[in-house]
Amino acid sequence: MEEKVYVRLSGIAYESLVNGPGIRRVLFSQGCRHNCKGCFNPDTHCFDGGKTFCADDLVADILKNPMLKGVTFSGGDPLEQADKFAYIAAKLKEKGLNIWSYTGYTFEYIRENAHKYKGWKELLNSIDVLVDGRFEQDNRPEGLKYRGSANQRIIDVKNSLKYGKVLTLDY
Ligand code: SF4
């Protein structure tokens, strides 16, 4: 029998309108190493906080809601449990859901270091959009959508991988 996959989350937003386009389920990962000044979610930093959830149960519950256009992985930093989120993303992609992930790492750093960390390559290959980079408290002009600070980019992952350069989406 296959072993069950568990992911550690700080929380879940069941129907969010602010973490990507359309109505989305948001899974907030527990654990983050970036320590950005002014972080809104310091409770998500510690790696043994939050609660563990069975990945298949999370997927089943998402698929029960026909209103959901997609799923967003937020944090914490989902890259710290990339293998778990890659597992979830692959199951959701099969059902045609659109997947976004936030991370404090940059796209370039992830590409260069993907071979060193469990699940990084798989996660990149199974998400549609990555919002990358650390949160910069002093870099927040008016009107930013889906991003905490202006250095962060909303990246079209599939096309960026295909063309070998960062291609961003405008929102
Ligand atoms: S990456 Fe996100 S969760 Fe982590 S410290 Fe920065 S703002 Fe906070």
Q: What is the pLDDT along the chain (171 residues), one digit of tens a residue?
A: 679 999 999 999 999 999 999 999 999 999 999 999 999 999 999 999 999 999 999 999 999 999 999 999 999 999 999 999 999 999 999 999 999 999 999 999 999 999 999 999 999 999 999 999 999 999 999 999 999 999 999 999 999 999 999 999 998
| pLDDT, position 8 | 98
Let me know: does 19 contact 146? Beta carbons within 8 Å: yes
The DSSP letter of residue 8 is E
Report the atom number in ligand 1 closest to the C-alpha of 76. 3
What's the rounded Cα separation, in Å, for the pair 44 and 110?
21
Residue with the smallest CA separation from ligand 1 atom 3 is 76
What's the rounded Cα separation, in Å, for the pair 104 and 109?
10
Query: Ligand 1 centroid vs 135 CA: distance in angstroms?
Result: 6
CB-based contacts of 124: which residues, under 8 Å, 6+ apart?
110, 111, 114, 130, 157, 161
CB-based contacts of 152: which residues, under 8 Å, 6+ apart?
131, 132, 133, 135
In the three-class reduction of DSSP (H, G, I as helix; E, B as strand; rest coil), residue 101 is classed as: strand
**Alpha-carbon distance values, 152 to 137, 147, 168 (Å):** 12, 6, 10
According to CATH, the topology of domain 6-163 is: TIM Barrel (3.20.20)
Query: Ligand 1 centroid vs 116 CA: distance in angstroms?
Result: 21
Strand 129-132 vs strand 98-102: parallel, antiparallel, or unpaired?
parallel
| pLDDT tens-digit series, residues 95-106 | 999 999 999 999
Whether 41 lines ligand 1, by a CB cut-off of 6 Å, is yes
| pLDDT, position 1 | 67
Whether 44 lines ligand 1, by a CB cut-off of 6 Å, is yes
Whether 29 lines ligand 1, by a CB cut-off of 6 Å, is no
> pTM for this structure?
0.97
| pLDDT, position 5 | 98
Q: 114-117 contacts: CB < 8 A, separation 24 or more?
A: 117/79, 117/82
Mean pLDDT of the chain: 97
| pLDDT tens-digit series, residues 143-167 | 999 999 999 999 999 999 999 999 9
What's the rounded Cα separation, in Å, for the pair 89 and 98?
9
In the three-class reduction of DSSP (H, G, I as helix; E, B as strand; rest coil), residue 60 is classed as: helix
Residue with the smallest CA separation from ligand 1 atom 6 is 36
